[in-house]
Amino acid sequence: MNENKPPLDPHPLSDYVAWAGNRNREPLLGVLKEKLPKDPSNVLEIASGSGMHINYFAPHFEHLHFHPSDKDEEVFDNIKKLSIHHENDNIADPVHLDLTNPETWFNVGVQKSFSAIFCINIFQVSLYGK
């Protein structure tokens, strides 16, 4: 077991989530380079959490426009702060999206179509023991 691993805390702004996100971002980037559209497109991230992944990936895909979303509106300021800090102009403002509440499904924009949708944060926290 990795001694530098913080205690499990699934809160999107926790030390554990930051540790897991930093550990996983390079392998995830490799997969996204293979799978994301090659043409200009909109891409939706479900459960963006702190925004660390979307802000790490965005500069590698300047032709894509990323749309972060999360159930927890508490994280929106952090997503925006990271986007400004990293000068990522291909990231939209985050929107409230709770997959358990159909009333929020249209918050991502009725007029938008997405060529890709990805969700990382839910899975990385659930794989704590891996």
pLDDT value at residue 17: 65
**For 45-94, what is each residue's pLDDT tens digit?**
999 989 999 999 999 999 999 999 999 999 999 999 999 999 999 999 99
Domains and CATH numbers, the chain: 15-126 (3.40.50.150)
**For 95-108, what is each residue's pLDDT tens digit?**
999 999 999 987 77
pTM of the complete model: 0.84
Q: Residues of the chain with pLDDT > 70: what percent?
A: 81
Question: Given CA atoms 14, 16, 22, 26 in this order, what sign does their dihedral have?
Answer: negative
Is residue 24 within a helix (H) or strand (E), and if so which, with residue range? helix 15-35
What is the residue type of 66? F
